[in-house]
Amino acid sequence: MSDQPAAEARPTDPVAVVRAFLSALERLDIDAALGYAAGDIVYQNVPLPPARGKAAFEKQMRFLARYGSGFEARVHRIAADGPVVLTERTDVLAARPWRAEFWVCGTFEVSGGRIVLWRDYFDWTTVLAASARGGVEALAHVVRSTVGRSARR
């Protein structure tokens, strides 16, 4: 019997891989998320150009973790057809008091327990509106905090 702890079993079922991947992103655990990415992963927010390869993908995920303070993927529906997993979800991006929530449809392709394709589709007008709303709410938070501090002096 070994004194070593048992290695955590990694899922290989495509739906389980996608769920574990999104969960790692929600924790902003980029290293864990990268563990689910294939070396030749393609990541794209349509219609922006795709990030091709793990290094390009990692750069975008590290940017998310560096400048964001939170991410949530509320999965409403998830379905698989072999290695292809489709999601309907609400994504929540946060950067301190700023938050934006918007609907996303995602396509994932999984091979050998690793994501080889992640492509998200969303309405850019909705994202911009959510971002603006988040900016107004963040500004209101700052104003309330400033007024509250002034009143206590």
One of 31, 81, 91, 123 is an active-site residue; which one? 91
What is d(CA 120, CA 15) in angstroms, rounded to the nearest whole number? 16
One of 29, 40, 120, 123 is an active-site residue; which one? 120
What is d(CA 108, CA 97) in angstroms, rounded to the nearest whole number? 30
- Which residue bears the tokens 């495509």? 14
Q: State yes or no: is 123 an active-site residue.
A: no
Q: Is the peptide bond before 47 cis (omega within 30 degrees of 0)?
A: yes
In 3D, which of 45, 22, 21, 18 has the Cα closest to residue 121?
A: 45
User: Would you please indicate which residues are annotated as catalytic (active-site) residues?
Assistant: 91, 120
